[in-house]
Amino acid sequence: MEAILTQFFNVEIMVKALPLVLQGLGITLLICVVVIPLGLVGGLLAALAAVSRNRAVRWSAIALVDLFRAVPPLVLLIFIYAGLPFAGLSLSPFAAVAIGFFLNNSAYFAEIFRAGLLSVHKGQAEAARSTGLTQNQTLIHVVLPQATRNVLPDLMSNVVEVIKLTSLASVVSLGEMLHAAGLVRSLTYNASPLVLAAGIYLAMLWPLVRLISRFERRIAS
Amino acid sequence: MTQAAQEAVAPPTLVVRGLRKSFGSEEVLQGIDLTVARRELVFVLGPSGSGKSTMLRCCNRLEEPDAGEITLEGDPVTGPKVDVNQLRRRMGMVFQAFNLYPHLSALSNVTLALRKVRGLPRPEAEAMGLTALDRVGLKAKAASYPAHLSGGQQQRVAIARALALEPSVMLFDEPTSALDPELVGDVLAVMQDMKAQGMTMLVVSHEMKFARDAADRVIFMDAGRIVEQGTPEQIFETPHHERTQTFLARFSGRG
Ligand SMILES: Nc1ncnc2c1ncn2[C@@H]1O[C@H](COP(=O)(O)OP(=O)(O)OP(=O)(O)O)[C@@H](O)[C@H]1O
Ligand SMILES: [Mg+2]
């Protein structure tokens, strides 16, 4: 029991690790702030392309979305960071993470937005067009608000997934929270920094997860 | 010129010439010719699948006609150079399924096009929107969302949404078919009131009593053609075409 406490819940080591882990948290949040909006925008554009009337546009979008949903994000990330230099393209860890996550996230957000767009009845757009709204105005003021609202819990769940996925950035030595905690662990030979990081993830994500459940119940009722 | 004289020489509100439309190999409209004069209410009857909705939807180009010519107050509706959005706002359309925007209040449903198509600032759009809602008897419901309105109220808001744009003609596609019987009357009363105010209307419906009371002309469509037309009395009392007779026989006792 004593051993478990000193190995996993060693307050002294946690306090020492805290500055570095918080610095890592800062980088984790920075990744999120860059990668989530990018993924949302990319996903929305891909979804719009995937429901386009132009067959070539539609099929290319669907193929790309399928591709990046099928490639494991860790493989994608390592390929971009460690594989592309062989083609003469060397990226900083942050750029590699931003690009890899953009591709991966966009694909998942695209699937969600596509379901949202398809959930809006065709009569909505027809009513809007019949009053003279252009196709873009119809999309912005009539279709998208409804599409987004219909899939809001799914979008939020995916945001949680993305936040968790940022820990993958540790494999390209980007000093986000997991990387920082792992570093302190290896210096102190103690797992407490990892427990600290896990606790911070939990504190961040648990409220979000609760919020999503509330939304889901409200939409179901 | 007096106003009456001006109206006499003005082109008819809606003219449809040789309208054809196919879906795949099925020719749904096989050459429709139709003129709707100013202030006229033309009532369109016909069996399911005869092309009534398609005809209406071609008028504002929700469906693209394959052939034929349509003009609104003399202005071409069909053709490559037409600004279809500007034309559409001169043609109000009311759908069987209402199609109100569920994420917007009744007033915002009405003001959206006023603001985005006509470019009115919000206060002016809202003033016009409230006037339109008042015309359909729903000013008090301006802040309500569609989900909190009855079907009849929703359809009246949908009418207000079209009316607010001050269209030259209103197209109705079975506006009361989705309503519980006790709610039909309110919607028909609004339409009758619009007719009394001089609105030009093209109405697809099965409400024979409304046709008798309000229509200037009744058109019977079958298999993509206008088979017969005349005053309500002519069509309902002495239909000439056999298809009209069989169709009306099914409705006897209902009108
Ligand atoms: N978008 C479409 N794609 C393919 N076929 C269509 C489409 N819209 C209509 N049709 C077909 O065209 C024919 C005429 O349809 P339309 O809706 O105009 O008839 P209607 O007279 O309005 O019938 P109802 O009284 O049932 O509303 C039908 O056979 C219908 O199946
Ligand atoms: Mg129809």
Q: Are B18 and B66 in contact (CB under 8 A)?
A: no
pLDDT for the residue B255: 43
Residue with tokens 């968790």: A164
Put simply, whether B62 touches A (Cβ < 8 Å) is yes
- Helices then strands, each counted (H, E), chain A: 11, 0
Least Cα distance to A148 among A120, A121, A171 occurs for A120
Return the structure tokens found at B105.
Answer: 């209040």
* B50 pocket-lining for ligand 1 (C-beta < 6 Å): yes
Return the structure tokens found at A50.
Answer: 């995937």
Of the candidates A124, A132, A145, the beta carbon closest to that of B89 is on A132
Q: Which residues of B50-68 are buried (b: 16+ CB within 10 A; e: fewer)?
A: bbbbbbbbbbbbbbebeeb
- Which has more confidence, B101 or A176? B101
Of the candidates A123, A132, A141, the beta carbon closest to that of B95 is on A123
Q: Taking CB atoms and an 8 Å cut-off, how many pairs form between chains A and B? A: 64
pLDDT for the residue A11: 87
Residue with tokens 């767009």: A117
Q: What is the DSSP string of B91-125?
A: EEEE-TT----TTS-HHHHHHHHHHHTS---HHHH
* For residues A98-124, average pLDDT: 96
Put simply, whether B158 touches A (Cβ < 8 Å) is yes
The ipTM value here is 0.92
- Three-class secondary structure of residue B26 per DSSP: strand
pLDDT in tens, chain B (255 residues): 566 666 667 899 999 999 999 999 999 999 999 999 999 999 999 999 999 999 999 999 999 999 999 999 999 999 888 999 999 999 999 999 999 999 999 999 999 999 999 999 999 999 999 999 999 999 999 999 999 999 999 999 999 999 999 999 999 999 999 999 999 999 999 999 999 999 999 999 999 999 999 999 999 999 999 999 999 999 999 999 999 999 998 876 554
Q: pTM value? A: 0.88
CB contact set of A149 (below 8 Å; sequence gap of 6+) = B103
The answer to whether B99 contacts A141, with C-beta atoms less than 8 Å apart, is no
- High-pLDDT (> 70) share of chain A, %: 100
- Does residue A125 register a pLDDT over 50? yes
Which of A126, A130, A134, A148 to substitute to test the interface with B, most B CBs within 10 Å? A130
pLDDT band per the 50, 70, 90 thresholds, residue A176 = confident
- Return the percent helix, strand and coil in chain B, to nearest 5: 40, 25, 35
Which residue of chain A comes nearest to B112, CA vs CA? Answer: A141
Of the candidates B62, B97, B102, the beta carbon closest to that of A130 is on B62
In order of A17, A170, A178, B212, the CA distances from A204 in angstroms are: 19, 19, 14, 68
What's the CA dihedral at B213, B215, B221, B224 to 10 degrees?
Answer: -140
Handedness of CA B158, B38, B69, B244 (dihedral sign): positive
Strand partners, B29: B21
Q: Which domains, ranges and CATH numbers included, belong to chain A?
A: 2-220 (1.10.3720.10)
Least Cα distance to A113 among A159, A50, A172, A57 occurs for A50
Backbone angles phi, psi at B6, to 5 degrees: -60, -45
* For residues A54-62, average pLDDT: 95
pLDDT for the residue B8: 67
Residue with tokens 């003033």: B127
Give the separation between CA B190 and CA B167, rounded to whole angstroms.
16
Put simply, whether A141 touches B (Cβ < 8 Å) is yes
Q: Are B112 and B132 in contact (CB under 8 A)?
A: no
* B176 pocket-lining for ligand 1 (C-beta < 6 Å): no
Q: Dump pLDDT digits (tens) for B133-164.
A: 999 999 999 999 999 999 999 999 999 999 99
Return the DSSP state at B90: T
* For residues A133-158, average pLDDT: 95
